[in-house]
């Protein structure tokens, strides 16, 4: 299967490059499943129903979230009626929404998508390792699902690496989100799981993790706030990871994706035509 994961959409600039690029990528690369992290899509904080719908209509099969899942209060309501929008599985019991989705491809294959929140330097949540065990045990790779994608939304690279090795062999892809900086450690682990510490953001990189530079600089250097954070509005880079799997759902190819904006460009040579 051909899988594409796209990192955190930040504000209007991130949405613009996604909406203008994804439909063509979906067609040209003959993608089977596309997952997009949308937790910063609405003004840099959270997601709205209309934005979620835009992302899905552009070609995403599932939208994942993170620690900003409910910054837009309407998400508390519409997440319960949109099964393709998922929040971290290890939120406390009773939190609206679900932490997994089982996506069916046009040819009838099934992809498990799971969203998990790390705990190092983050708000304390339920144990992510127990949560992912339950999700993967309920939907084993190669038996109930043909591929499994895990978005591990976390701060510390060490925690992300530990999580990747812990899940190795039970998922097609474990990809980190949250830090908004793409890492260069894409690899296929010993058990056949594709891994990347952070997919990076889909946003304007002439910024501080997607936000207009002036306010973060002011707060860091003068230790006083001046105004609210606003997403940077320049040309954005779409960042993500491309993975191809075998018939059993194990990864056999992996490559970074960076399209548009300021960053050096990268596309999977094994797909690009």
Q: Could you tell me if 90 and 127 are in contact, meaning their C-beta atoms sit under 8 angstroms apart?
A: yes
Give me the residues paired with residue 6 across strands.
36, 240
Q: Could you tell me if 91 and 126 are in contact, meaning their C-beta atoms sit under 8 angstroms apart?
A: yes
Q: Is 68 a catalytic residue?
A: yes
CA atoms in the 13 A half-sphere facing the CB of 12: 6
Note the Cα 233 to chain centre separation in Å: 21
Give me the residues paired with residue 62 across strands.
35
Any residues with CB less than 8 A from the CB of 113 and at least 6 apart, and which?
Answer: 33, 35, 61, 62, 64, 86, 100, 101, 102, 103, 148, 149, 150, 151
Q: Per the residue annotation, which of 68, 153, 178, 186 is the catalytic one?
A: 68
Handedness of CA 19, 60, 210, 157 (dihedral sign): negative
22 secondary structure, DSSP code? H
Q: Write the DSSP assignment of 127-161 as a string of letters.
A: -HHHHHHHHHHHS-BTTTBSEEEEEEE-S-HHHHH
Q: Which residues are catalytic, by number?
A: 68
């Amino acid at each position: 299967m051909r899988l594409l994961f796209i990192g955190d959409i930040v504000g209007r600039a991130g949405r613009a490059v996604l909406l203008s690029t994804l439909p063509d990528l979906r067609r040209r690369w003959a993608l089977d499943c596309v997952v997009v992290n949308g937790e910063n899509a609405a003004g840099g904080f959270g997601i709205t129903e209309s934005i979620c719908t835009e992302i899905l209509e552009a070609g995403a099969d599932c939208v994942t979230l993170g620690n900003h899942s409910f910054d837009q209060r309407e998400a508390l309501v519409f997440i319960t009626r949109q099964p393709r929008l998922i929040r971290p599985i290890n939120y406390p019991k009773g939190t609206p929404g679900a932490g997994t989705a089982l996506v069916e491809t046009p040819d009838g294959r099934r992809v498990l998508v799971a969203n998990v929140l790390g705990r190092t330097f983050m708000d304390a949540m339920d144990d992510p390792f127990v949560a992912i065990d339950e999700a993967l045990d309920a939907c084993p790779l190669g038996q109930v699902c043909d591929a499994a994608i895990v978005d591990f939304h976390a701060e510390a690279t060490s925690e992300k690496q530990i999580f990747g090795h812990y899940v190795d062999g039970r998922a097609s892809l474990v990809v980190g989100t949250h830090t908004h900086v793409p890492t260069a450690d894409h690899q296929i682990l010993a058990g056949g799981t594709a891994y990347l510490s952070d997919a990076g953001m889909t946003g304007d990189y002439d910024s501080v993790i997607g936000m207009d530079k002036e306010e973060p600089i002011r707060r860091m250097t003068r230790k006083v706030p001046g105004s609210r954070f606003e997403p940077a509005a320049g040309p954005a880079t779409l960042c993500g990871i491309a993975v191809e799997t075998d018939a059993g759902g194990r990864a056999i190819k992996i490559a970074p994706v960076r399209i548009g904006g300021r960053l050096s460009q990268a596309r999977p040579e094994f797909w690009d035509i």
